[in-house]
Amino acid sequence: MTPRQRFLAAANLQPVDRPPIWLMRQAGRYLPEYRELKAQHDFVTMVRTPELAAEVTLQPLRRFPLDAAIIFSDILVIPEALGQGYHFRDQGGIGMDYLLDTKAKIEALDATKIAEKLKYVADALTLTRSKLGEDTALLGFCGSPWTLACYMVEGGSAKDFIKIKQLAWDQPELFEQLMQKLTDGIVEYLHMQIDAGADALQIFDSWGAICPATHYEAWSLRWIHHIINELKGRVPVILYAKGMGHKAADLMHTGAKIISLDWTMNLRRMRQSIGHGAAVQGNLDPVTLTTTPEITQREAQRVLDEAGKQPGFIFNLGHGMIPSAKIECVEALMEVVTGRKNA
């Protein structure tokens, strides 16, 4: 099987010769070649420059026998396209260029011409596909409306994201207006990514776990369901909702074909409960890759054993790669999953 065939077969619950593997944030700061490029260009410039975004996307594929590339970008390109730019704070974390704190500011967000505004992402995908060839899967992604709204209303990274909950409770009509604009923008954006060559898409509901349980459906999942429904099954959709694996049945109701689990979930039990309703992706703890090759191989084998032989499993991390991950640990991981030593 080619890597692309392997990935798509697993996504569609079909038998494979071995589990496909890709890693969230596989392109990034743990790679010396990325750090070298980052010393010359800031993050946002790299995202907006198709040649640089394609180069970063391909860097891990040159080192490791990964089955899929995921385009180098950021979830916050959608708020930027709506009119609320973003940057990275000197002390760390994300900052939005202004606070989305009034009705007038929310009403001013413009969800039209998203594909035109984010053409640089489509160009990066097209360029990556031309360099990648046809044998490796290429993934696109976005943030969920809820997760994007958390950053937009809070003004950036935060510990508790209090303001988005206050908005949802205190001004439900204004909250709905914001979520509808985000949803409309994301639908257009994802269709654009598919048109540009994406074989599958991942939706990151990274802050789903801050929703009160009784509001998770109304505040987050129904918008994700609408997005997936509007994609008309063109490509498989992966849903990653950090901290929400216990809601797997609800996650599946969105129409996602693959449920990506964090490291807190027991993979064997989750596969039994999900059954043939969806493929499963996950869920090695990213911290494993900061330890030793021996520990990495042991933990990777444990994940494989828990996943079992049932079709529909994609090996991944339980969250994004962290900057202190070691190259030799990633190599050891790849050897366990693919059976190939790094060249």
The verdict on whether residue 319 carries a ligand-binding annotation is: yes
The verdict on whether residue 170 carries a ligand-binding annotation is: no
Q: Which residues contact 105 (CB under 8 A, 6 or more apart)?
A: 98, 99
pLDDT band of residue 251 (cuts 50, 70, 90) is very high
pLDDT band of residue 343 (cuts 50, 70, 90) is low
Average confidence (pLDDT) over 36-63 = 97
Average confidence (pLDDT) over 85-103 = 88
pLDDT band of residue 261 (cuts 50, 70, 90) is very high
43: amino acid identity, one letter: F
Distance, first Cα to last Cα, the chain:
20
Average confidence (pLDDT) over 16-34 = 97
* 91 or 219, which is more confident: 219
The verdict on whether residue 29 carries a ligand-binding annotation is: yes
Q: Which residues contact 240 (CB under 8 A, 6 or more apart)?
A: 24, 202, 203, 204, 205, 206, 260, 281
**Predicted local distance difference test score (pLDDT) of residue 342:** 62
pLDDT band of residue 340 (cuts 50, 70, 90) is confident
The verdict on whether residue 26 carries a ligand-binding annotation is: yes
Average confidence (pLDDT) over 53-67 = 98
pLDDT at 17 over 80: yes
Q: At what angle do helices 145-154 and 162-170 cross, to 10 degrees?
A: 100
120: amino acid identity, one letter: Y
The verdict on whether residue 151 carries a ligand-binding annotation is: yes
The verdict on whether residue 28 carries a ligand-binding annotation is: yes
Task: Give tens-digit pLDDT for 263-278.
Answer: 999 999 999 999 999 9
CA 305 to chain centre: 25
**Predicted local distance difference test score (pLDDT) of residue 105:** 97
The verdict on whether residue 305 carries a ligand-binding annotation is: no
Q: What is the pTM of this model?
A: 0.96
**Predicted local distance difference test score (pLDDT) of residue 90:** 72
Q: Is the peptide bond before 229 cis (omega within 30 degrees of 0)?
A: no
Task: Give tens-digit pLDDT for 185-201.
Answer: 999 999 999 999 999 99
For residues 88 and 310, what is the distance between their CA atoms, to the nearest angstrom? Answer: 42
For residues 113 and 111, what is the distance between their CA atoms, to the nearest angstrom? Answer: 7
Average confidence (pLDDT) over 136-165 = 95
The pair phi, psi for residue 278, each rounded to 5°, is: -165, 155
The verdict on whether residue 18 carries a ligand-binding annotation is: no
pLDDT at 247 over 60: yes
Mean of per-residue pLDDT scores for the chain:
96
Per-residue tokens: 244: 């929400």
